[in-house]
Amino acid sequence: MKFTKFGKALLISALSAGVLFSVTSCIQDYSVGYLYVTGTVTAGTSSNGIISGFKIDHNTGKLTTINGLPVSSGGANPVRAVLLSGSRFLYVLNRGVSTNPAGSSICTTQYPCQNANITQFAIGANGILTPQETFYTQGLNPFRMVSDSSGSYIYVLEHDSMINGAPSNSTTNPNPNCAAALTGATTCGDITAFTVNASTGRLSLIQNAQVTAFGGGAALAYFPVPANPVDFLMVSGSILTMSGAPTHTAAAPCTTAAELAANYPYICGTSVYPYSQNSSNGQLTVSQNTIQTLNIAQGTTLVVGGGYVFVLDNEAPSPNPTSASSQMLPYSVGSGGALIPATSGPIPDDPNQSNPIYLVQENKGKWFYVANEGNNTTNTGTAASGLAGYVINSPFQPTEMAGTPIGFGSGSYPQCLVEDPSNQFFYTANAGDSTVTGQAIDENAGTLIPLNNSTKAPSEYTLTGPPTWCLMDGRTN
């Protein structure tokens, strides 16, 4: 076949257009995932919290509000959320409200929060959330929620167990059921466990098969943990609960009124208690009848990063520290959930920041990042909030990388830290100024760069009210 000059020109033009179309098709925008953020709208005693949602642009990291969001979280004071069953269902833990004169979101043994619940949402096309059912825990002041890796079970940590219809305490209302799992204990926190229906997402309570209620013969509807729990996590078939001191004292100077008012209300972790999980029925059994002392006074969080469990610790004096001495303590997990200190020893936090509350190891395993709340004040000279980044050396001896920390300004107070599904961006939700902040990852150095410096996307997005938690959904429609 022969072409005239005119025909050749048309053919070349068509081929050029095809090549151009192919190139532009490769760089067209699409959503790589959804970012969900729980938050409060008002300090009122009856108003529900909200769930905000954003689509993440895979090229720039830009966030676009999901149509129909925010929606009500199904209760007041939402503090945690988990995704299950292939991203079909989202569950939000709403703590409820208290009559505490210091604030309706401050849940204590004396002023427990009421009307707490877990609200289930179905995730539809384009990330839309539709409320389904509501479920209830067995104790008081729930504040943490996790699922196992299979998505078959959900566990909720509660600061206070109940006896005779009221919060248990060691003097006027001791709980004899605590001693059944914790020798000699007169008061305890607890874990409520649920089975998840794979088809409907419905939650069903798991009774404690090991322990029967004191004097009643019925199985307990919860699993006791040491008093004053701070945080818990599931790792290597175990649930580890960190507990500690309940109040501000000379020995454990960490829980001030201002800190209790924060979204991380219990921050005096000193020890860890392990349960083993039965993956067939969700039961928890005592794997070691011992409490492992951590030799710290102000543990804030337990988190898994790579092959380690990190205990985040804020040993800076309080209130109003003038210098930070916070740290990350890495452990490997041994038999029965025992924590074995890493040879690196404690890893110092950035000296200009304090109160580490979350840690994420990026997908390639070369770096990890620590979100620091700071002390949520504007006092001059206090350690600030922000992100610190660390290079993971071999052998394991992380060192802080050049270019961090990244500060968010006075009072930013990050509540969470997540990496997007394409492993290009990190986001924090910040309670101090009700924003979401985005950072791009330098693929060579691991440093985090505000989106507005590295792309045309803005680095900060305004929320309706103070956020409390965030999570990432990698499934898109």
Residue 24 within a domain: no
| 111-123 mean pLDDT | 94
C-alpha pair distances (Å), 435 with each of 43, 123, 259, 314, 430 = 18, 24, 20, 24, 5
Q: Please write the tens of the pLDDT for every residue from 397-423.
A: 999 998 778 876 545 889 999 999 999
Which residue would you say has higher pLDDT here, 396 or 247?
396
- Would you say residue 226 lies in a domain? yes
Q: What is the CATH number of the domain that holds 241?
A: 2.130.10.10
Instruction: Please compute the mean of the pLDDT values over residues 166-181 and round it to a whole number.
Output: 88
pLDDT band at 265 (very low <50, low <70, confident <90, very high): low
251 or 349: which leads in pLDDT: 349
Q: Which domain holds residue 249?
A: 31-473
Structural domain tally of the chain? 1
Would 1 be classed as within a structural domain? Answer: no
**Structural domain includes residue 414:** yes
Residue 408: predicted pLDDT: 61
- Residue 319: is its pLDDT beyond 90? no
Question: 132 burial class (0-12, 13-18, 19+ CB within 10 angstroms)?
Answer: middle
pTM comes to 0.89
Residue 392 lies in a domain: yes
Stretch among 33-47, 96-110, 361-375 having the lowest mean pLDDT: 33-47
Write down the mean pLDDT value for the chain: 84
Q: For residues 92 and 121, is the Cβ–Cβ distance under 8 A? A: yes
Banded model confidence at residue 251, pLDDT cuts 50, 70, 90 = very low
The answer to whether position 3 is within a domain reads no
Cite the beta strand spans of 114-245 per DSSP E. 117-123, 129-135, 140-147, 153-160, 162-163, 166-167, 189-196, 203-205, 208-212, 219-220, 223-225, 229-235, 238-244
